[in-house]
Chains A and B, each alone.
Chain A
């Protein structure tokens, strides 16, 4: 993987993913959040037992190691209450080993110290019917907060009515 590599974390079902996402390649890695990985139990083992990696042994433990090796990290998620879908959130919660347990001050607030020197840019691609303006505003606030907490230099956000409409921006 290199800084040119894109990593797409998505919550699509296999048939839908094949129809919408680019093929997996050296430049484009795919991570399916469905079927769901086990949920984070808040043990902090990824900071104090096996630093950088979740202690729960399923594929959800792989994401924290993949994120820092790509230049752009794209999250394709159904918009749920203005945030990530449960399948995507389960993967993200299991990936906090991506940052260190230690703290620093950013823009006057306490945040985690990044584990790596060059965290990837973040792009959120949300899909869903009947999004409210309030939900979109929540998602924008979430992307902004995540970009600070995941120490990303840049974050983008896009909204589409269906996952099929996302195909063009994921090419």
Chain B
């Protein structure tokens, strides 16, 4: 069985999407031939070769204004026919992560991906929405408050291996939302300070 994991983050490395992609790749383990690829970066032009003959396409991306990052959307739009031809009959799965706490806020992006699958003549598998994306890299998937994220990816991996469609599923961190927001605010202010931008300047109006 061949699985292509498409990392749809514009940040090629050190992204939450890369972390999720690697976690799924590990869970699919020896049972599949599984590569991670991206429509951008040095190997971007190779992506159609990488998805050729895939039984499953797993798109992993961050939520951008309730939808897909534009470079991923452009790839799907411009390469629709190629994807349809090269991965004919493949199942389409999506893992979408967002900086908001609630994983359910990724639901519109699932629908966009499902519509893509319909247009490409591929079969929709499942959407997984991961909230609290700000914690993924600092805490680690499957650890502490993100244990459920790990469990969810286990279930997704089984669905991929069995070529199964399943209901979309969203997961939030096991962490107080108010504290998540407070930490996020501190983190934004700290990032700005590093750029010599103070809290008042962050609020500047156009």
Binding site for A on B (CB under 8 A): 9-11, 15, 62, 64-71, 73-74, 76-78, 100-102, 105, 107-108, 111-116, 118-119, 177, 181, 184-185, 188, 191-192, 194-195, 197, 201-206
A141 touches B108 (CB 8 A): yes
Residue pair B115, A134 in contact (C-beta under 8 Å): yes
Q: Do B77 and A111 touch across chains, with their CB atoms under 8 A apart?
A: no
Query: What residue of chain A has the Cβ atom nearest to residue B203's Cβ?
Result: A100
Bound CA span A51–B204, Å: 7
Which of B10, B78, B204, B206 contacts A41 (CB under 8 A)?
Answer: B10
Asked if residues B185 and A39 are in contact (CB atoms below 8 Å), the reply is no
> What separation, in Å, do the CA atoms of A102 and B102 have in the docked complex?
16
Closest CB in chain B relative to A62 CB, distance in Å: 10
Asked if A85 contacts B192 (CB within 8 A), the reply is no
- Chain B residues with CB under 8 A of A51: 192, 197, 201-204
A residues apposed to B, CB below 8 Å: 36, 39-42, 44, 47-49, 51-53, 64-65, 68-69, 80-86, 89-90, 92-93, 96, 100-103, 109-111, 115-116, 132, 134-135, 137-138, 141-142, 145-146, 149-150
Nearest-CB residue, chain A, relative to B178 = A105
Among B15, B76, B112, residue most surrounded by chain A Cβ atoms (within 10 Å): B112
Known: A93-B64, A110-B181. A101 touches B188 (CB 8 A): yes
Shortest beta-carbon distance, B10 to chain A, in Å? 5
The docked-state distance in angstroms from the alpha carbon of A62 to that of B76 is 26
The answer on a CB contact under 8 Å between B70 and A93 is yes
CA of A89 to CA of B71 in the docked complex: distance in angstroms?
Answer: 9
